Amino acid sequence: MITSSTSSCWGNAVSVSSKNALTSGIPADSPFARFCLRIGSVRKVAVALFVIDIAVVLLVGLVLRLLARDWAPTTIAFCALVALTVLVVVVVATSRLWAFTGVNGPSRWRDRRLLVLPTLMVIAPVVTGIKPLSLDYLLFLVCAYALTGFTEELIWRGLVIGVLRPIGIWPAVLFGSLLFGLAHLPNVFFRESAILVVFQAIGAFCFGVGFAALRLRTGSLLPLMVIHALHDLFAQIGALPAIPLLVAQDTILLLYGIYLLRPSKVAELRATDDAVDASPTKSTVRGHQ
């Protein structure tokens, strides 16, 4: 995807090839493009997005813990999520990154059949029924997980995978998924068990590999947002035990991601990227794939 002349300039952010790698598919006059160029490498941009994610969640969480001591941890976590959602929407909207992140119409989706397996996995927890829940709590869960699916996909499979893609398919998937897993560690401030949070982070890495592969193969983020939201929601309200179910689902998604990005398919994606890199309109083409 990147020629040797491009990959040799990670330490030289002022070179033309480095700038092209940093802002590939991003509107050149956007604030996000300037942000990427200021930082200087795609890996550092991904880490910066990770740090911002963590900082927003922790800052909002700590402030609310001080100002609203009687609030439940889940309420505080939801407020932190809302703040993060507002921030990422502002960034994507002001920098015109909807296409870059994969927020596109069905006409641009590819290989839709690949979404069948994760969809069936989503439905599994509620096949045997749902837990008895109050209407208020159910509505809260629906809103919380809808925001989670939208925001996490927009950040991690949209911005982060999009930014990392010039370093190669598998390096982008693994590094992005690692950051996605680590981004779940601040949940220790909102949950009682630190051990469960660690396992949640490991599961998020596996989940990230599968969803990053789906993002690259299908060319769209919208179905992943819906599947992600329903995955989390149904795991919580379904009658089946949540933890064993989530472990099984995350394991399947990891293996599915490996299968989706087998060597022959990676070669096809690289060929597509090479064609985009050679296009004079690559700043607007890659984001639409």
| Positive or negative torsion for Cα 222, 223, 224, 229 | positive
Across the chain, mean pLDDT equals 88
The domain spans of the chain are 4-275
Decide if pLDDT at 10 tops 70: no
* Higher pLDDT pick, 287 / 64: 64
Q: Which of 102, 203, 216 is nearest to 170 (CA)?
A: 216
Question: Could you give the CA distance from residue 268 to residue 288 in angstroms, rounded to a whole number?
Answer: 17
How far, CA to CA in Å, does 145 sit from each of 92, 102, 186? 20, 20, 17
Phi (first) and psi of residue 11, to 5 degrees: -85, 0
Enumerate the β-bridge partners of residue 238. Answer: 130
Q: What is the dihedral angle through the alpha carbons of 193, 133, 231, 188, rounded to the nearest 10 degrees?
A: -20
For residue range 125-151, what is the model confidence (pLDDT) as tens digits? 999 999 999 999 999 999 999 999 999
How far, CA to CA in Å, does 60 sit from each of 53, 65, 128? 11, 8, 38
What 3-state class would DSSP assign to 54?
Answer: helix
Q: pLDDT class for 19, splitting at 50, 70, 90?
A: low
Read off the tokens for 181.
């897993």
Segment 200-214 shows an average pLDDT of 97
